Amino acid sequence: MQTSVVGFPRIGAERELKFASEKYFKGEIGANELKAVAKDLRARHVDIQRVAGIDFIPSNDFSFYDGLLDAACLCGIIPERYTELELSELDTYFAMARGYQGEKGDVKALAMKKWFHTNYHYIVPELEDKTVIGLHGTKPFEEYDEAKERGVETKPVLTGAYTLLELCRYTGTKTREDYLDEIAKVYAEMISRFEERGTKWLQFNEPSVVMDLDHADKTFFVELYKKILAKKGNVKILIQTFFGDVRDIYEDLIEMPFDGIGLDFIEGKQTESLIEKYGFPKEKILFAGLINGKNIWKNDYEKTLQFLKALKDKGTRVVLSTSCSLQHVPYNLTAETGLAEEYKKYFAFAEEKLVELKEIGKLAESDAPEKEPVYRENRSLFAIGRDCADEDVQKRLSEVKEEDYIRLPERKERKKIQKKIGNLPLFPTTTIGSFPQTGDVKKNRSAFKRGEITKEQYKNFNKEKIERAIRWQEEVGLDVLVHGEYERNDMVEYFGESLSGYLFTKKAWVQSYGTRCVKPPIIWGDVSRKSPITVEWSVYAQSLTDKPVKGMLTGPVTIFNWSFPREDISMKESISQIALAIRDEVLDLEKNGIRIIQIDEAALREKLPLRKSDWYREYLDFAIPAFRLVHSGVKPETQIHTHMCYSEFTDIIPAIDNMDADVITFEASRSDLLILDSLKKCNFETEVGPGVYDIHSPRVPSVEEITEALQKMRTKIRDDKLWVNPDCGLKTRGEEETKKSIVNMVKAAAAIRSSHRS
Helix/strand/coil (H, E, C) string of 582-638? HHHHHHHHHHCCCCEEEEECCCCHHHCCCCHHHCHHHHHHHHHHHHHHHHCCCCCCC
Of residues 218-247, which lie at the interface with ligand GLN (CB under 6 A)? Answer: none
Environment class of 321 (CB within 10 Å of its CB; exposed 0-12, middle 13-18, buried 19+): buried
| Exposure letters 165-176 (e unless 16+ CB within 10 A, then b) | bbbbebeeeeeb
| Complex with ligand GLN: residue 119 or 240, whichever CB lies closer | 119
- x/- track of binding to ligand GLN for residues 138-177 (CB under 6 A): ----------------------------------------
By CB under 6 A, tell whether 731 contacts ligand GLN.
yes
| Complex with ligand GLN: residue 248 or 585, whichever CB lies closer | 585
Contact partner, 155, from ligand GLN, Zn ion, none, Cβ < 5-8 Å per class: none
Contact partner, 491, from ligand GLN, Zn ion, none, Cβ < 5-8 Å per class: ligand GLN
User: Under 8 Å CB-to-CB from 514, ≥6 apart: which residues?
Assistant: 21, 65, 66, 97, 98
What is the CB neighbour count within 10 angstroms for residue 198?
10
| Complex with ligand GLN: residue 245 or 667, whichever CB lies closer | 667
By CB under 6 A, tell whether 555 contacts ligand GLN.
no
Distance CA 424, CA 136 (A): 60
Q: What share of the chain is helix, strand, coil (3-state, %, to 5)?
A: 45, 15, 40
Of the listed 117, 121, 483, 696, which one is catalytic? 696
By CB under 6 A, tell whether 432 contacts ligand GLN.
yes
By CB under 6 A, tell whether 533 contacts ligand GLN.
no
Question: What element of type H or E holds 641?
Answer: strand 639-644
Least distance in angstroms from the C-beta of 690 to ligand GLN: 14
By CB under 6 A, tell whether 437 contacts ligand GLN.
no
By CB under 6 A, tell whether 742 contacts ligand GLN.
no
What is the CB neighbour count within 10 angstroms for residue 341?
7
Of residues 602-621, which lie at the interface with ligand GLN (CB under 6 A)? Answer: 602
Contact partner, 600, from Zn ion, ligand GLN, none, Cβ < 5-8 Å per class: ligand GLN
By CB under 6 A, tell whether 596 contacts ligand GLN.
no
By CB under 6 A, tell whether 5 contacts ligand GLN.
no
- Of positions 503, 645, 663, 710, contacts ligand GLN by CB under 6 A: 645
Distance CA 182, CA 741 (A): 47
| Complex with Zn ion: residue 316 or 642, whichever CB lies closer | 642
By CB under 6 A, tell whether 550 contacts ligand GLN.
no
Environment class of 306 (CB within 10 Å of its CB; exposed 0-12, middle 13-18, buried 19+): exposed
The answer to whether 140 and 190 have CB atoms below 8 angstroms apart is: yes
The answer to whether 258 and 206 have CB atoms below 8 angstroms apart is: no
**Does residue 215 have an active-site annotation?**
no
- Largest Cα separation within the chain, whole Å, is 88
Q: Is 141 left (phi over 0), alpha (psi -120 to 50) or beta?
A: alpha
Least distance in angstroms from the C-beta of 666 to Zn ion: 8
Which amino acid is residue 144, in one-letter code? Y
| Complex with ligand GLN: residue 141 or 495, whichever CB lies closer | 495
By CB under 5 A, tell whether 664 contacts Zn ion.
no
Least distance in angstroms from the C-beta of 488 to ligand GLN: 8
Closest-CB residue for Zn ion? Answer: 728
- Of positions 645, 655, 679, 752, contacts Zn ion by CB under 5 A: 645
By CB under 6 A, tell whether 552 contacts ligand GLN.
yes
- x/- track of binding to Zn ion for residues 674-713 (CB under 5 A): ----------------------------------------
User: Under 8 Å CB-to-CB from 209, ≥6 apart: which residues?
Assistant: 162, 163, 221, 241, 246, 248, 249, 253
By CB under 6 A, tell whether 728 contacts ligand GLN.
yes
Of residues 441-500, which lie at the interface with ligand GLN (CB under 6 A)? Answer: 485, 491
By CB under 5 A, tell whether 110 contacts Zn ion.
no
User: Under 8 Å CB-to-CB from 416, ≥6 apart: which residues?
Assistant: none
Please count the residues of this chain forming the interface with ligand GLN, following the rule CB under 6 A.
Answer: 13
The alpha-helical segments, DSSP class H, found in 316-438 are 341-344, 350-363, 373-384, 391-398, 411-422
Distance CA 280, CA 259 (A): 12
By CB under 6 A, tell whether 407 contacts ligand GLN.
no
Question: What element of type H or E holds 144?
Answer: helix 139-149
By CB under 5 A, tell whether 603 contacts Zn ion.
no
| Complex with ligand GLN: residue 432 or 745, whichever CB lies closer | 432
Distances (CA, A) of 171 to 93, 118, 121, 122: 19, 26, 20, 18
| Complex with ligand GLN: residue 354 or 728, whichever CB lies closer | 728
By CB under 6 A, tell whether 357 contacts ligand GLN.
no
Which amino acid is residue 505, in one-letter code? T
By CB under 6 A, tell whether 600 contacts ligand GLN.
yes
By CB under 6 A, tell whether 665 contacts ligand GLN.
no
Contact partner, 526, from Zn ion, ligand GLN, none, Cβ < 5-8 Å per class: none
- x/- track of binding to Zn ion for residues 27-46 (CB under 5 A): --------------------
Least distance in angstroms from the C-beta of 663 to ligand GLN: 14
Q: With the CA atoms of 650, 654, 659 and 664 taken in that order, what torsion angle do they form, in degrees rounded to the nearest 10? A: 40
Least distance in angstroms from the C-beta of 748 to ligand GLN: 20
The answer to whether 123 and 54 have CB atoms below 8 angstroms apart is: no
Stretch that binds Zn ion, among 230-238, 347-355, 534-542, 637-645 (CB under 5 A): 637-645
Stretch that binds ligand GLN, among 18-26, 314-322, 430-438, 446-454 (CB under 6 A): 430-438
Distance CA 738, CA 482 (A): 14
By CB under 6 A, tell whether 433 contacts ligand GLN.
yes
Distance CA 76, CA 73 (A): 5
> How many degrees, rounded to 5, is the angle at CA 732 between CA 730 and CA 737?
65
By CB under 6 A, tell whether 643 contacts ligand GLN.
yes
Closest by CA to 239, choosing from 143, 145, 140, 161, is 161
User: Under 8 Å CB-to-CB from 468, ≥6 apart: which residues?
Assistant: none
Least distance in angstroms from the C-beta of 134 to ligand GLN: 40
| Complex with ligand GLN: residue 64 or 649, whichever CB lies closer | 649
| Complex with Zn ion: residue 480 or 728, whichever CB lies closer | 728
The answer to whether 743 and 417 have CB atoms below 8 angstroms apart is: no
What residues are paired with 511 via a beta bridge?
A: 517
In degrees rounded to 5, what are phi and psi of residue 514?
45, -120
Least distance in angstroms from the C-beta of 474 to ligand GLN: 19
Least distance in angstroms from the C-beta of 602 to Zn ion: 5
| Complex with ligand GLN: residue 116 or 435, whichever CB lies closer | 435
Stretch that binds ligand GLN, among 517-525, 560-568, 691-699, 723-731 (CB under 6 A): 723-731
Stretch that binds Zn ion, among 146-154, 205-213, 374-382, 724-732 (CB under 5 A): 724-732
Contact partner, 552, from ligand GLN, Zn ion, none, Cβ < 5-8 Å per class: ligand GLN
Please count the residues of this chain forming the interface with Zn ion, following the rule CB under 5 A.
Answer: 2
Distance CA 621, CA 100 (A): 44
Active site residues: 696
By CB under 6 A, name the binding residues for ligand GLN: 432-434, 485, 491, 552, 600, 602, 643, 645, 728-729, 731
Name the residues that contact Zn ion, by CB under 5 A. Answer: 645, 728
